Amino acid sequence: MQDLKEIQTKIYPPMVEGDHTFGTVSDKIGDLALKKRTPFLWYVGFGISFLVLQLLMMSVTTLVAKGIGIWGNNQPVGWAFDIINFVWWIGIGHAGTLISAILLLLNQKWRTSINRFAEAMTLFAVACAAMFPLLHTGRPWLAAYWLFPIPNSMGIWPQFRSPLIWDVFAVSTYATISLLFWYVGLIPDFATLRDRAKNKFFKFIYAVLSWGWRGSARHWHRYEIAYLLLAGISTPLVLSVHSIVSFDFAVSQLPGWHATIFPPYFVAGAIFAGFAMVLILCIPLRVWFNMKDMITNTHLVYMGKVMLATGLIVVYGYAMEAYFAWYSASLYEWFMMKNRMFGGPYWWSYWLLIICNGASIQLLWFKRFRESPFWLFIISIVVSIGMWLERFVIIVTSLNRDFLPSSWAMYSPTVWDWSMFIGTIGLFFTLLFLFVRFLPIISIFEVRTLLPDANVHGHHQDFEENVVQVEETYDRTDPPNN
Amino acid sequence: MAQFFQKGANNIARITMIMGVVVAGLAFFAYTQFSRSSYITGQYVELQQPVQFSHRHHVGDDGIDCRYCHTTVETTASAGMPPTQTCMNCHSEIWADSPYLEPVRASFRENKPIEWERVHDLPEYAYFNHSIHVAKGVGCSTCHGEIDNMAAVSQENTLQMEWCLSCHREPEKFIRPKSEIYNMQWQDNDITAEERLKLKEDYRIRSRDMLTSCSICHR
């Protein structure tokens, strides 16, 4: 009997630890948003982020006033930090969609306590990403009809055969669906907060946001359908958005960009980077907010495994890029690859990338590192840097050696390149701090469904007994708390 | 738990949703109208000129040819603004004492050009050449309207890109025989569509793809 239980918990580790009931879950998560006193550390974190956000405001103002000449990119490196940062941010968002949509459809219970803030992370990352294509036009107020096919007095449309316009559609669809998905998931929780809020003002806000949710059976029925539909719509987006981002490069004829491996390799890279960011955020969060019982070590281990798997696909992508360059027998491709890896001025960035994305994740094969939040945190940071370097390597090393040696030139970022990039990190964390203060960072009602109370078989209230009961009655492969 | 809002709030929600669509639609309509209005384009706006010069009188009544003043229209990008000397060819003899013409005489005496207000002001990023249009059978009035009937000249067309493209996409609808270039009364259907197609071939007007390529106008 005892053995069975142990095996059971080993195969299906509980996703909520401790003695929680419906009420305590609502208390614990809801109170984070509703409590009167804001913790001092929140002010510190928010204050720093907000200051860094001002760096962004300053950079954008200067950019609009003076034009994109303040950046370091110039022929032949026409794309640099603006596109590197765009791809980096948009990639980070992908973990949120994967967690919320694909893992939902695959019935993975462990998504439940991380999906809410992973989705928030997606939204904030997309907001940061979207700034770059908008601002790299230099005149963002005109970008509306440069980017979108809005009827205009010029009598022309954007070039529909260009992946750049596909990108606009992909990213704006992605942002819309992610926002809807996040919001729909929040509605029942807004209702919980509305019912619990003491402050009239917040009660009003939460009441507006919850759209009169009463939690009736009909509400839940419609909610479930809507949520499932949105998950269905989001699922192809996980694959399509970054595929299309990769087309920005792959459709061009440039050596180093023109490769068929790009879409799958970009998608894997996006999920890889996204999970790294989720880990970077949730490892401190679960400590500061005392949420270790809801974001358990098991969650971290699972995310570590996803990172290892997607990371290996990315490493395979690097290997194939080099192989294709050689196998293509194209002089230009092979020169580009040699230049990128050995001879060129940016060779160090390539090997730094291999160390960050290829070597560091090998630690995750070992249980010791996989199960240590500290090491997971370190590896995630290294991977985030690595994924940024990946875009740097792809963009800058491919462009800086043009077909014509007379056009060769070096690229180096200016102060404004850096300030804008760092500024978007400020924006990201400012939004994140606001989110953790005013919204439930974990889905209250979904975590409740993980509790034994939500899966009552017969009269057994006790989880452990329940497990045994299930064990005796059903086939072993049946998850006990399903 | 009691509901926070009264039942009437449902109607507010519905009205908000409907009005959201309506307002967005109206805003879009307003945008399409405003962006083509004379406020933006300067179409039909008459400017105050330093001399009350009337094209209606000089072209319509007197029958002076366009090229008498705009001498370079057949050879260069700019049609050319006449120097004061051109005015004085006649006005040293007729209306020589008219107070209306004092600015012209002053300009002549002091050898300082009259500063006319530009009516057709194309942006710098658009390359435009009069001579090629004239050479390919585009008459003055096709773009400038019936100048011989304008006391004060104003822009007959919007000069917006969609207007340029409307002809560059199908020039065969707007061209005329070279003998009729300076005919202010010419109408596009004075000759048949077949004749115009024939003209297009005779003038060797290039393909639609070529005429609408970006660098034809944005060089």
Rounded mean pLDDT, B133-144: 94
How does residue A477 score in pLDDT terms, banded at 50, 70 and 90?
A: very low
Going by C-beta distance under 8 Å and a sequence separation of 6 or more, which residues neighbour residue A99?
Answer: A111, A114, A115, A118, A119, A278
Residue A456, pLDDT > 70, answer no
Q: The domain spanning residue A276 has which CATH number?
A: 1.20.1630.10
Residue A247: pLDDT over 90: yes
pTM of the model: 0.84
Its domain, for residue A475, covers 451-482
SS3 A428: helix
Residue A41, classified by CB atoms within 10 Å of its CB into exposed (0-12), middle (13-18) or buried (19+), is exposed
| Residue A79 belongs to a domain | yes
If you average pLDDT over residues B170-184, what whole number do you get? Answer: 93
In 3D space, the residue among A56, A54, A63, A57 whose CA is nearest the CA of residue A135 turns out to be A63
Pair (A198, A245) in one structural domain: yes
The whole-angstrom separation of Cα A372 and Cα A358 is 20
Q: Please tell me whether residues A287 and A323 are part of one structural domain.
A: yes
- For chain A, the domain total comes to 2
Tell whether A39 is within 8 A of chain B (Cβ).
no
Please report, for residues A453, B127, B133, the alpha-carbon distance to residue B175 in angstroms, rounded to integers and kept in the order given: 83, 20, 9
The answer on pLDDT for A24 being more than 90 is: no
Same structural domain, A75 and A170: yes
> Mean of the pLDDT values across residues A302-328?
92
Answer yes or no: do B160 and A151 touch at CB < 8 A: no
Residues of chain B contacting A214 with CB distance shorter than 8 Å = 3
Same domain as A383, residue A481: no
pLDDT for A124 equals 93
For residues B176 and B137, the answer to whether their CB atoms sit within 8 Å is yes
| Interface A:B, Cβ pairs < 8 A | 36
Which residues, 6 or more positions from A95, have their beta carbon under 8 angstroms from its beta carbon? A118, A121, A122, A270, A271, A273, A274, A275, A277, A278
Which residues on chain B are in Cβ contact (under 8 Å) with A194? Answer: 4
**Residue in the block written with tokens 């092979």:** A334
For the cut 50, the answer to whether the pLDDT of residue B115 exceeds it is: yes
Give a yes or no: residue A15 inside a domain: no
What distance in Å separates the CA atoms of residue A118 and residue A120, rounded to the nearest whole number?
5
Distances (CA, A) of A49 to A63, A87, A231, A429: 21, 22, 32, 6
Give A156's contacts in chain B (Cβ within 8 Å). 161-162, 165
A477 and A420 both lie in a single domain: no
Q: How many residues does chain B have?
A: 219
- Same domain for A258 and A127, yes or no, is yes
User: Is pLDDT larger for residue A179 or for residue B5?
Assistant: A179
Residues A422 and A461 in one domain: no
Residue A313, domain member (yes or no): yes
How many residues belong to chain A? Answer: 482
Separation of alpha carbons A140 and A439, rounded Å: 31
A459 lies in the same domain as A375: no
Residues A472 and A365 in one domain: no
Residue A6 located in a structural domain: no
Does A199 touch chain B if contact means CB atoms closer than 8 Å?
no
* Whole-number pLDDT of residue B154: 93
Could you give the 3-state DSSP secondary structure of residue A460? strand
Q: Is residue A13 included in any domain, yes or no?
A: no
pLDDT for A474 equals 46
Contact list in A for residue B1 (CB cut-off 8 A) is 195
In a domain, A214, yes or no: yes
- Contacts within 8 Å (CB) and 24+ apart, A193-197: A193/A30, A193/A33, A193/A34, A193/A440, A194/B4, A195/B1, A196/A26, A196/A30, A196/A34, A197/A34
From residue A270, give the alpha-carbon distance in Å to each of A80, A150, B158, B159: 19, 30, 48, 46
Q: Tell me whether A482 touches chain B (CB under 8 Å).
A: no
ipTM value? 0.78
Mean per-residue pLDDT, A84-95:
90
Segment A159-181 shows an average pLDDT of 90
Q: Is residue A17 part of a domain?
A: no
pLDDT, tens digit, 9 for 90 and up, residues A122-154: 999 999 999 998 898 888 888 888 888 888 888
Environment class of A51 (CB within 10 Å of its CB; exposed 0-12, middle 13-18, buried 19+): exposed
Residue A290 has pLDDT above 60, yes or no: yes
Query: Are residues A316 and A463 part of one domain?
Result: no
Nearest CA in chain B to A206: B4
- What number is the average pLDDT over the span A254-271? 90
On the question of pLDDT at A249 being above 60, the answer is: yes
Does residue A270 form part of some domain? yes
According to DSSP, residue A457 is labeled B
